[in-house]
Structure formats: structure tokens, C-alpha cells
Structure 1
Amino acid sequence: MLPSESPTARSVVGVAEDLFAALRGESATLPRAESVVLVLIDGLGAISLRAHAGHARALTAGMAKKDVATSVFPSTTAAALTSILTGAWPGEHGLVGYSVLDRSRGVMVNQLSGWESAGVDPASWQVAPTVFEKAAAQGRQAFAVGVAAYAGSGFSRATLRGAEFVSAASPGDRVAAAYDLAERHPGSLVYCYLPEVDKAGHRHGIASRQWVSALEDVDAALARRVPPGVGVIVTSDHGMVDVPAHKQFVLEAEHLAGVGHIGGEPRMLHVYLDPDADADGVLARWRGDLAGAADVGTRAEAIASGLFGAHVTDAAASRIGDLLVVSRGNGAVYDGTAPDQRSRGMVGQHGGITPEERQVPVLRFGAFAR
């Protein structure tokens, strides 16, 4: 059985609205700020941050027990980052996983890097207003500071609409640029994206020296003095867990009868059935094949439990798999018949529902510091 989403838990979905309220001087939790900066450290879970506090002294110096929020489901960048940058749940903005099926064309869409190859228009695929468009509607300037290679990507065009993009090479340069923009443009909203921790985790795992080094670099960047009057929130889209080789569960051809496409990612698969498949029979078989390794539920169960948010649009519902496969513990499930098996080389992974994946820090600096 898939879990239910708590309607009362603090969620990353509300972070942007907290910043707007602080700009208006109307926030119940944040002091008023002249400008605000939202720093997003991709892939940094609250549990792994606390476990490595000695390598992240700037980040954890004022971190209280309550300085956490819950990421969305699935706990993956496409879904969670879009929720943070729109203030909408995946069921509303429609990016319900790493890769999903466009049922109208029978085409799989990689929602991070495959927009162009799949022939998808970001403006019509992701229709929720971004926080930058909301800022512009309020007469505020909006900026997004990130890596140059991401400036014109389909994902950026889906999530950064309304922002002026500014590129900088290193984490330190990006934070410096974000703080400078906020200081020079009173009333503005500035977003700063730091992907280095996530990349190191995928490649080497969160137990690696490479991951610790990436965390130290980000921590050093955020040790920089915040300009007066600028409020800074530092958060993340998700955490991750290390998946050892012996916890890789590989599905071969005999397991895949009745399955037309597999999307999502190994920690949370979207399984799309053939039109003439015996859905109940496939569900029972998958539950038996993956007993103890993963929970298998249906699209209807996931929507009813609120996993994708209280409201799910027709477009979003069409992209959710007929079956959802959520790995337990630190395991992952792979399609052994897929031509590309590179994902089996990833150490750090996410997408599931463990606290390590879904609990993220929400830290306050500058005008927001306690």
C-alpha cells in the first residue's frame, strides 16, 4: 500500500509564498526583508546535512530541529524543484516524475533533459505560473542565478519563466552574484541554484569524500556575508540514499508481460501497461515479484491518498503510471531489458519516501537569521 500525504506537514511547496510574505512584511514566520534570495542546494537532505555538520559549519551553525520541510512525491528534481518554483504540487504543475509517458503520442519524456528530443513545449506542458512570473505581476524584479549550460534548457524554460538568467561558474560565484543582485535591486526575488552536491552524490554516494568535498564547497560559498536588508532562505529539493549493488532488483522480460513503458526512476517507477493488459493480473504479479523490496500501488490509489497533492489535473493524471513502484529501504528497481543501463552505476539515488529522501533543510540567513 502506498502511504498517505499529510495535509499538515510543512512542505517545500510553500517556501516561495513565505518569501513573498516577507517582502510585504506580512509573514507570520519571517521578518520583513528588502529583497529575498532563495538558495537551492540540489540533493541535500536534512538528515545527511546533520550527519556531516562538521563539514558544513556555516549551514548548520544556526540550524534548529524545526528547520526542516518535507519534499514532494516523488522526491526527484523534476517534481520537487518545479513545486518550489511554482508553489504548486506535482498534481497541479504536471511534472510527476523524472520521465513520464505522453500518452497522446506514445512518447517517453525525460522532464529534466529530454524536452527537445521528445518535442515537448515547456510552456504548454508546465502551465502553472512560476514564482518569477508572480513576482513580475507584483511589479518586482526576478533573477535566476545558475550554471550557464542550463540557461536555455527545456526544464529552465518550464520553471524559470519570468526571471532574468545570470550565469556563474562556481558555487561561490553564484552566491556572490545572487547577493549582489538582491542588494542592487530592492524588492527583488533572486533564485540561486547549486547542483554540485547532487552530482557528487549520484556519482560517488553520500558516504564518499567527493560528496563531502562538494558539501564543503557549498558551505564555504554560503559563509559569505549577506548584505543588509536581504533575507536568505537555503533549502533543497530532496535528499538521497546510497544504493549498494546487492540492493539492485532487476526485472527481466518474464516480469514485464503486459508492460508497455517504464518511466520514473529506480527508486520510484511509473509503470505504463499495454492497453489490452490484464491490469489486476499485472498488479498482483508485480506485488508478488517485488514483495519485501518495493510497494506497488495503482494510479487511483496514489491520487486518492494525496501523494501528488490535493488536486490532480487531467494532464497530470495522464502522466502518472498505471502502477507506481516505490522501493523500500535503500533498494532500487531496474528494467533489465532497457538498452541503457547507465542508471545502475549511480550510487546516490532518490525518488522514494524515506526520511533521508524527503526531509530537507530550510535555513535562515541575513535578515531572516534568528
Structure 2
Amino acid sequence: MAQPSPWDHPEPLALDTAPLPEYGSGSLADLLPTLAAGLGVPGTTATITELTPADRVCVFLVDGLGWEQLRAHPDEAPFLTSLLGSSRGGTGRPLTAGYPATTATSLASVGTGLPPGAHGLPGYSVRNPDTGELMNQLRWQPWTPPRPWQPYPTVFQLAHDAGVHAAQVSSPTFERTPLTKVALSGGSFHGRLSAEERMDLAAGQLAAGERSLVYTYYAELDGAGHRYGVASDTWRGQLMYVDRLAQRLAEQLPPRSALYVTADHGMVDVPFDEQHRIDFDEDWELRAGVALLGGEGRARHVYAVPGAANDVVTVWREVLGEQFWVASRDEAIEAGWFGPHIDERVYARLGDVIAAAHDDVLIIASEREPKESALVGNHGSMTPAEQLVPLLEVRS
């Protein structure tokens, strides 16, 4: 039998093997519309059918708390683990984050109740078609007018207009950010630096209305995962703290309330070697014909120079082999990666080529993105470790 040539590339992954987010039935974009429909908010629909309406609803979103990571650490999170079953009167199940599984995209999906192809925040960084520049949608740099970028009302706005007491309880640093404006605004914002104070205030905001929709957020678990990895003692310590926060909030729920603990994405630790970290800045094949590199290491938007898109998608498939799903823009849209439809204003924000990691690998850019390239924990793609997030319920 002939030996394979060192120049041969493995057969590319078939696009239909990518596990699509469950848009319309079990994604983050379905959560708030389902809860708001239970509150009688016009224009919202309950698509997560097993959730029972409550008069007062709180969503506690823990940044970076993946379903698989939570299930792997029952000793560190005894309270949250107890919610995986029905022993406390609730149910636990996973939701899919949506593609890409990254904070800006997921928070917009949560707040607007729309998939990425509609709300228009389809990645960590994407090209602004009006300027040709990469726009970081988490940091909102360079500055871009928020409302034209994401024009849809949030579910909180719809709830507030319908007479529901709507509130967000988070760090005061997020109050005036463009991402908060386009994704999570509506009703009142309450900033507290202390996470314990946030839990107490969220319970108080629930009690402030006969019908209430309250959101609260914790970021530091994600930061620990990025810096030290989800296998680290630091991450496990953060998970223990998150568990105490969730229990603190649950024990203060006013009557007729439901608390839902969820997240924006999971996380994957990626080894520090050339096999697992493919450096775009050092790889002439991957750079050929590329004008801009967007997205992040496990979910890349690749923008080709005019006329080179077909060549770029061919080369990326050959070079990345079985490690990434590599699609053209139209193939990714047709496959439903960003949702069932794409708004016209969003189409050109997507890469000419889109690469989603299958294995525990990254496409780093050591010169252009030195900080991001040094992260231990990463996310963005469609693997279960990144896509699946918990939906845990407590009722009073």
C-alpha cells in the first residue's frame, strides 16, 4: 500500500456534520421571548415549550458557564448540580448558545430574542461594510452608531412597554456601553460592584412588580477560564463562588417567581504548541488572498481581497483539513449557522470564508492579536463544550 505523501491534506470536514444551534426551539435566542410570553408581553412567543409561566422571572447569566463544564464539577457546584434534576421542583436542560458561541453574540441573542443573522452581532469582530474596518463588537471599537448596527427592540423594552417591571442588575461599568444599549436595555439599570449585592438587588427588583422581568450577570468565571483554563484551580474556585451566588439569589425569591441560571457559552482549553495553535501571521498559505482576519481563534471570519474568495476557501479547507469546518459565506448561511435567515444589513458583515473549530485547536494571530493569542481557555465554535449552556430553574 502506498504511503501518503507529506503534501497530502486530509479530507475536509463535511459541513453537514456541524451540530447546528437549536434556533427556534432550544437556543439562547428563545429564552427571553418564552419568558416574556408567559408574562403576557405582546409580540413574544413561547418556543421553549416545557417552561411554565411565572409572574416574576429572573435570568442570572454566568459568563462562560458551559453545560459540560458544570456537569464535570459537581463537588464545586452542589447547588447548581442539584438543579440538573427535579429534586428542587425545577428542571435542568442544556440550551445551545448560537453561532458563534461568544459573549457579544450571545448577549445580543438573549436580549433581543433574535438569532445572530437577524440582530447582526455575528462574531467577536466583524467587518463593517460601510468603513471596511474590523469592528470589535464586545468593546465596540472603532465607534459605530449603535442603533443602525442593531435596530431591533430588546425583549426588556417590549416588556417595559407592556407594563412589566423590567430591570437589569449588573456591574456599573456596563450601564452605558453600546453593547448594553443594543442588547440588554429597557426598563431600569441598577449597577452594583459587589456580586452579592447584585443577587440581593435582583431579588428586590423581582418583588418590585406584580409582573417582573429581571436580568443579572456575573463575568469573572469567564475571565478565570480565559486566563488559567477550565481545568485550573482558579476556575474551580470561581465556580464555587458562582454556586453560592445562585443559591443566595434562589433563597430570596419573592412569591410566584422563577429563577433561570444560564450562560453565554462554554469553553475549551487549548494546548500551547504549534499543532494546536495555528498562527495565521506565520502561515503564508492561510494569509494568501486575505484582506482582514476577524472573529476569534475558534470562530474565524475571513475577508478576502476582491476576486479571491473562492481561492481562499479552497486553501483554508486544504490547510485545515479535519480540524475545522470551513464554509463560504453563502454555504454557512444556507446551512443555518447564523439562524434561519440573514438580514440584508448583516450579510456583508459575515466573512467570505467562515472557519469553525472541530478539534481543540485555534487559529491565532500572534502579531495582530497578541493578548487573544495567549488565552488558555477559548470558545466560539459549535462543539458541545462551547455550544451547550445550562438552563436551570428554581421556583418559589
Q: TM-score, normalised by structure 1?
A: 0.93
Offset of residue 138 of structure 1: 1.1
Distance 1:47 1:214 in 2: 16
Question: What RMSD in Å do the two structures reach over aligned CA positions?
Answer: 1.9
Q: Which among 36, 59, 68 is matched to residue 20 of structure 1?
A: 36
Aligned to 1:54, the other structure's residue is in SS state: coil
Offset of residue 124 of structure 1: 1.2
Distance 1:139 1:8 in 2: 26
Q: Which among 155, 167, 182 is matched to residue 158 of structure 1?
A: 182
Q: Which among 252, 263, 266 is matched to residue 239 of structure 1?
A: 266
Distance 2:19 2:218 in 1: 31
Distance 1:15 1:230 in 2: 16
Whether the 8 Å CA contact 1:172–1:222 is kept in 2: the answer is no
1:181 aligns with 2:205: yes
1:259 aligns with 2:290: yes
Offset of residue 325 of structure 1: 1.1
Q: Which amino acid aligns with 1:120?
A: T
Offset of residue 7 of structure 1: 5.7
The alpha-carbon distance between structure 1 residues 293 and 174, as it changes in their structure 2 partners (threshold 3 A), is same
Whether the 8 Å CA contact 2:109–2:116 is kept in 1: the answer is yes
Whether the 8 Å CA contact 2:269–2:378 is kept in 1: the answer is yes
Q: Which among 319, 340, 353 is matched to residue 310 of structure 1?
A: 340
Distance 2:393 2:325 in 1: 36
1:199-235 deviations in whole A, cap 9, x for unaligned?
1111111001111111111110111212222211111
**Pairs aligned (count):** 363
1:211-270 deviations in whole A, cap 9, x for unaligned?
111111111011121222221111111101111112111122522121110110000100
Distance 2:292 2:329 in 1: 15
Aligned to 1:351, the other structure's residue is in SS state: coil
Q: Which among 124, 130, 149 is matched to residue 154 of structure 2?
A: 130
The alpha-carbon distance between structure 1 residues 287 and 315, as it changes in their structure 2 partners (threshold 3 A), is same
Offset of residue 184 of structure 1: 2.2
The alpha-carbon distance between structure 1 residues 56 and 66, as it changes in their structure 2 partners (threshold 3 A), is closer
Q: Which among 42, 49, 58 is matched to residue 79 of structure 2?
A: 58
Distance 1:285 1:336 in 2: 21
- Greater Cα shift, 2-11 or 126-135: 2-11
Aligned to 1:55, the other structure's residue is in SS state: coil
1:29 aligns with 2:50: yes
The alpha-carbon distance between structure 1 residues 336 and 292, as it changes in their structure 2 partners (threshold 3 A), is farther
Whether the 8 Å CA contact 1:42–1:238 is kept in 2: the answer is yes
Structure 1: gaps spanning 5 or more residues? none
Question: How many percent identity over aligned positions?
Answer: 36
Q: Which among 329, 350, 357 is matched to residue 386 of structure 2?
A: 357
Q: Residue 304 of structure 2 corresponds to which residue in structure 1?
A: 273
1:268-310 deviations in whole A, cap 9, x for unaligned?
1000011142x22222212122123322110000000111111
Q: Residue 290 of structure 1 corresponds to which residue in structure 2?
A: 320
Q: Residue 97 of structure 2 corresponds to which residue in structure 1?
A: 71
Q: Which amino acid aligns with 1:209?
A: D
1:317-367 deviations in whole A, cap 9, x for unaligned?
1100000111222111123452x3111211111001110100111000133
1:162-204 deviations in whole A, cap 9, x for unaligned?
1311111232221111011111222121100111111111111
Whether the 8 Å CA contact 1:45–1:360 is kept in 2: the answer is yes
Q: Residue 343 of structure 1 corresponds to which residue in structure 2?
A: 372
Whether the 8 Å CA contact 1:4–1:306 is kept in 2: the answer is no
Q: Residue 144 of structure 2 corresponds to which residue in structure 1?
A: 120
Distance 1:70 1:300 in 2: 22
Aligned to 2:131, the other structure's residue is in SS state: coil
Distance 1:68 1:233 in 2: 12
Distance 1:163 1:200 in 2: 31
